[in-house]
């Protein structure tokens, strides 16, 4: 059966911050990632980078709530993901859409792309998010692996395969245990 306009709600039972009752956290992760985008940020207050993402997943593995994200080694954020144990996923109101587009089209390697936006960094214990985020999910990296190009090629049409991997390397998948969720709307 095919279901259109399907919305999944994520409920997480995690000890919280900011006086938020985490049991009541609801958002539509498939919709929010695919249609509204999010930011993946890795690094610390001394050095970090962020990128707009629309690929990812939420679930459970090894009895832990997790987030899965994908980054190509050609992205500037890749080295920050490799060299840091924590990362954040953050979600924003529609009014920040142009800022997220800027962060997805400019490289932090070439310019201070944060200064081109209305976003201000929020320095956390082991990672960075932004003060304007509605929701920030703090994750501890627990697993990573490069996607298998042969399996991908066998399961995608040539046009889709060439669009994502024609001359580019494959994505690296990172699984992060959800450590904390910050509700920025408080």
**Mean pLDDT of all residues belonging to the chain:** 85
Residue 104 has pLDDT above 60, yes or no: yes
Provide the whole-model pTM. 0.85
Per-residue tokens: 70: 């994908």
Which CATH topology does 22-183 take? Pnp Oxidase; Chain A (2.30.110)
Q: 46-98 pLDDT, tens per residue?
A: 999 999 998 899 889 999 999 999 999 999 999 999 999 999 999 999 999 99
Residues 45 and 40: their CA atoms lie apart, in Å, by 15
Per-residue tokens: 184: 């920025």
Q: Where are the domains of the chain?
A: 22-183
Residues 22 and 178: their CA atoms lie apart, in Å, by 12
Radius of gyration of the chain from its Cα atoms, rounded to whole angstroms: 16
């Amino acid at each position: 059966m095919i279901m259109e306009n399907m919305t999944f709600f994520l409920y997480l039972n995690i000890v919280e911050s900011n006086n938020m009752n985490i049991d009541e956290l609801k958002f539509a992760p498939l919709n929010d990632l695919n249609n509204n985008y999010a930011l993946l940020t890795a690094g610390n207050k001394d050095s970090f980078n962020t990128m707009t993402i629309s690929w990812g997943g939420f679930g459970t593995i090894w009895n832990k709530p997790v987030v899965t994200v994908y980054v190509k080694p050609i992205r500037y954020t890749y080295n920050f993901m490799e060299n840091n144990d924590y990362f954040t996923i953050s979600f924003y109101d529609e009014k920040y859409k142009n800022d997220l587009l800027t962060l997805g089209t400019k490289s932090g390697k070439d310019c201070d792309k944060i200064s081109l936006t209305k976003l201000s960094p929020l320095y956390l214990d082991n990672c960075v998010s932004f003060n304007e985020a509605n929701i920030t999910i703090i994750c501890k990296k627990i697993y990573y692996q490069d996607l298998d190009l042969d399996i991908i090629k066998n399961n995608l049409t040539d046009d889709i395969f060439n669009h994502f991997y024609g001359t580019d390397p494959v994505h690296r998948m990172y699984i992060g245990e959800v450590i904390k969720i910050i509700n920025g709307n408080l």
